[in-house]
Amino acid sequence: MRQSVVVVGLLLLAAMPLAADHHESESVYSATLAANFEFVSGQLMQLAEAMPEEVYSSTSEVFMHVVGANMMMPVTFGSAPAEGFEMPENPFALARELEANVTAKVDVMAKLEESIEYAKEAIAKFPEAMLDEEVTLFGPPMPKRAGLLILLSHSHEHLGQLIAYARSNGVKPPWSQPMPEAMPEAVPEPAVQ
């Protein structure tokens, strides 16, 4: 847990120069979310790669659920759809169709990568002027900035779910490293002369 907090903190610090170099129409908020989205999405891709084909029958649905959110939520907030993607009248029907029909590892990974690239760019380029506009998503209206945060937390939520699936199938997440058996000894203070 402590490592995760440190990693997220470092990523947010790393995003600061990116955020400082943004265009006036893009926001620091969006740039920061995009940096964190890129991090969690990288872990989703690593885990998708590490999972053997034989467990995709039980995990592809979750990966494709993430794909659906990545492709449709930014459009709901006002971003242009990905090239070749048309927002359906009933997005939930499309999500169910993707989850049920895209199950082969190679297909899931291709769709996941495509959706990540689209959502990352949509988040990073989301205009600051639109962040406080309201959107109705899963109930009461909310500012679009809250919707973007939901998209980010959605990826984190399902990464956690997929880590549990992976471990129950004997797959160790590629970024997991064993903790050292003993903490390194403290470096002695230099002698004051």
Rounded to 5 degrees, φ, ψ at 54 are: -65, -20
Question: Distance between CA atoms of 140 and 3, rounded to whole angstroms?
Answer: 35
Kindly report the number of other CB atoms within 10 A of residue 122's CB atom: 25
pLDDT digits (tens, 9 = 90+) for 27-85: 788 899 999 999 999 999 999 999 999 988 889 999 999 999 999 999 999 999 999 98
3-state class percentages of the chain: helix first, strand second, coil last, to nearest 5: 65, 5, 30
**C-alpha separations of 31 from 17, 144, 157, 165, 189 in Å:** 10, 15, 21, 31, 40
Q: Enter the pTM of the model.
A: 0.78
Mean pLDDT computed over 90-102: 89
- The enclosing H or E element of 110 equals helix 105-124
CATH number of 9-168: 1.20.120.450
In the chain, what are the domain boundaries?
Answer: 9-168
